[in-house]
Chains A and B, each alone.
Chain A
Amino acid sequence: MIRFEHVFKRYPERGEALSDLNFEIDAGEMTFLTGHSGAGKSTLLRLIGLLERPSRGQVIVNGRNLAALPRRKIPYHRREVGMIFQDHRLLPDRSVFDNVALPLVVAGLGHKEIGRRVRAALDQVGLLPRERATPVALSGGEQQRVGIARAVVGRPPVVLADEPTGNLDPDLSREIFGLFERFHQVGVTLLIATHDLGLVMSMPYRTLTLTEGRLANDSGAW
C-alpha cells in the first residue's frame, strides 16, 4: 500500500531530513512511526500525503507512483489519504459537522450523502451529540476526535496521523489509539507517528523507528 524506495529529502536550510528510506507497508497494516523530534517522522508523512515531494527516490501509494503524479491530480490523491495532525487543523468558525463534512463537500457529494456519512463518522468517534458545537467549545481530546472523523469520513484506504496524542493525557491517548485499532479492524492502512513509546510498546503492531532521517529499526510485521 505504501512503498518507499531510496527516498531522500533534503531541505536547503536544514540539510538532509530523510536519507535512503526503504520500506513497504501492506494494505490493512497498522504501523507506528517513532523517533525523536526532528528525526523526520513528519517529513515522511508529508511525502505520503504529497504535501511535499522527495528530493530523490520514489514513493508509491496505493499502486500510484507519486513522482509521476501531475499537480492537478494531487487533490484526488489526497482524498485517498486521510490526515490527522497534532494541532487538529480544524476550522474554528465552523461547526463540528461542517468540519467533518469538508472532505465530502470538496469531493462534490450530495447533501443527503454528506449528512449520512458525517453522522456515521461522528458516531464512530462518539461525538454525534456535539455536531452543532464549534471546535473551541470542545476539549482537546474531543477536537482530536473531530480531526479523526474528518480524516476517515471519505473512507480513504490510507490514514496518516502525525502525533495525534501529543497534547493528550494517557487515558485520552489510549482512547484515540483504540479508535485507530477499530479502523485497522475494518481494513484501513494506518501509519501513526508518535513518540509515546509506552503506548506503542503496549500494542502488538509493527514499529518503524527513525533516527536522524534513517530507518534505524523495523520491528517487522506482527
Chain B
Amino acid sequence: MSRHKARRRRSPNLLDLPGLWLNHHLQSAIATLGRLMRTPLPTWMTIAVIGISLALPAALYVVTENLRTMAGGWDQAAAISLFLRHEIDDAAAARIAEELRSRPELAQVHLISREQALNEFRALGGFEEALSQLQSNPLPAVLALYPDGAHSTAARLEALQTELLTLPEVDFARMDTLWVQRFQAILDLAQRAVLLLGALLGVGVLLIVGNTIRLEILNRRIEIEIMELVGATGGFIRRPFLYAGAWYGLLGALTAWLLVSISVLLLQQPVSRLATLYRSEFPLSGLGPLAMLVVLLGSVLFSLIGSWIAVNRHLRDAGPA
C-alpha cells in the first residue's frame, strides 16, 4: 500500500508506473550483478559450489537418460519366443504366425521353421556330430514375436504370454524382454533417486545462498543502517540481496550445465569406442532443454528462498520496535 503511494508520489504520470517499476528492478538487478562481480573470487566460489551441487544430480540424470535410450534400442529384440509343439508342422506354424500377425500389440511375427532352427543350431558349431546321430529333428518350430512399441507394456506382454500358453499348439512361451523391463524398472528407481538427490542438493543450494547472503548482510550492516537513516524502505534494502540470491542461482545453474556438458564431451569418445566394439553406435546426449529449464528454475527458486530467509531473519530489526 505505502509503497504504491510512494511510487505515485514520485511519478506524475500513472501510465509510466509499470515502466518505471520495471526500470527500477532492472537497474537494481544489474547493479547487484555489478556489485557481485566487484568481488569476483568469493562470488565465483559460491557459484562454483552451487554449480557442483547441481551438476551431481544433473549428471546422474543424464546417465539414466542415456541408459534409457540404450535400453530403448533393446526393444528391437523379440519380446516373446513361442515354442510350438513337436507335432506341429511348418504349414500349421505358418498359419498360427499369420493369425498372430493380426494382433495389434505385435509389430512383427517371425517364423523359425524346424528346419531353420536345426540349421541355426548346426551353425553354432560343436553340435554337428551329436545332431547327425539323431533320427529326426528334435527342435520345434519357434515364433519370434516382436512387440509394437506403443502397446508393449510389461503387463500386456505378460497377459499375451499367458494367453498364448493356453493355445493347444503352444508348448512353451518365453518372455525374452523381461530382463529389459527389469532394467527399465531399475532405471525408474534410479531416476527417482536422482529426483530425491536433486531435492536434497536443492536444499543445499538454499542453505549455501542463505548463508552467503547472511554474511553479506552482516558485512554491509553500516551501509544498511545509513540507508535506513535516510529513509530507505525495507523493500529497497531487501531487493539487492534477493537479486544477489537470484543471480547466484542463475549463474550456479549455468555452471552446472557447463560442467555436465564438458563431462559429456569428454565421455563421448570412449563411449563411441565401446559402442563400436559392440558393433553399434551410441551418441551420448547431454542435458536436454527441458531438463536444463528445470535445473535453472529450480536453482533460482531455491536460491531465492535461501536469500529470502536470510533477508527476513537479519533485516527484520530495522527502525524502532
Contacts and interface: CB of A to CB of B under 8 A. Distances in A.
Contacts of B7: 108
A75 B319 CA distance: 9
Interface stretch (B174-182, B191-199, B231-239): B231-239
B15 interface: no
Contacts, number: 65
Contacts of A89: 225-226, 229
B320 A52 contact: yes
B41 interface: no
Interface string B217-232: 0000011011111111
Given A53-B320, A73-B2, A76-B2, A102 B10 contact: no
Interface centre among A53, A73, A75, A91 (most CB of B within 10 A): A75
Contacts of B236: 75, 106, 108
Contacts of B320: 50-53, 74
Interface residues on A, range: 20 to 34
Contacts of A90: 226
Q: Mostly helix, strand, loop or mixed at chain B's interface? A: helix
Interface in B199-252: 222-223, 225-234, 236
A108 B319 contact: no
B321 interface: yes
Given A51-B320, A53-B321, A91-B226, A72 B234 contact: yes
Contacts of A79: 230-231
A13 to B, nearest CB: 15
Interface in A45-102: 49-53, 71-79, 83, 89-91, 102
A150 interface: yes
B interface bracket (residues with beta carbon within 8 Å of A): 20 to 34
Interface in B72-93: none
Best-buried of B6, B232, B321 by chain A (most CB within 10 Å) = B232
A78 B321 contact: no
A72 B232 CA distance: 10
Contact of B6 (A71, A78, A108, A150): A108
Contacts of A49: 229
Contacts of B273: none
B226 A78 contact: no
B24 A108 contact: yes
Contacts of A141: none
Interface of A: 49-53, 71-79, 83, 89-91, 102-103, 106-109, 150, 154
Given A76-B6, A108-B7, 14 more contacts: A51-B320, A53-B320, A53-B321, A73-B2, A74-B319, A74-B320, A75-B231, A75-B233, A89-B229, A90-B226, A91-B226, A107-B6, A107-B231, A109-B10
15 contacts: A53-B320, A71-B319, A73-B2, A77-B231, A78-B229, A78-B231, A79-B231, A83-B229, A89-B229, A102-B227, A103-B231, A106-B227, A106-B236, A108-B6, A154-B230
Question: What 10 pairs across the A-B complex have the smallest Cβ distances?
Answer: A79-B231, A106-B232, A78-B231, A103-B230, A75-B233, A75-B231, A53-B320, A52-B320, A74-B319, A108-B10
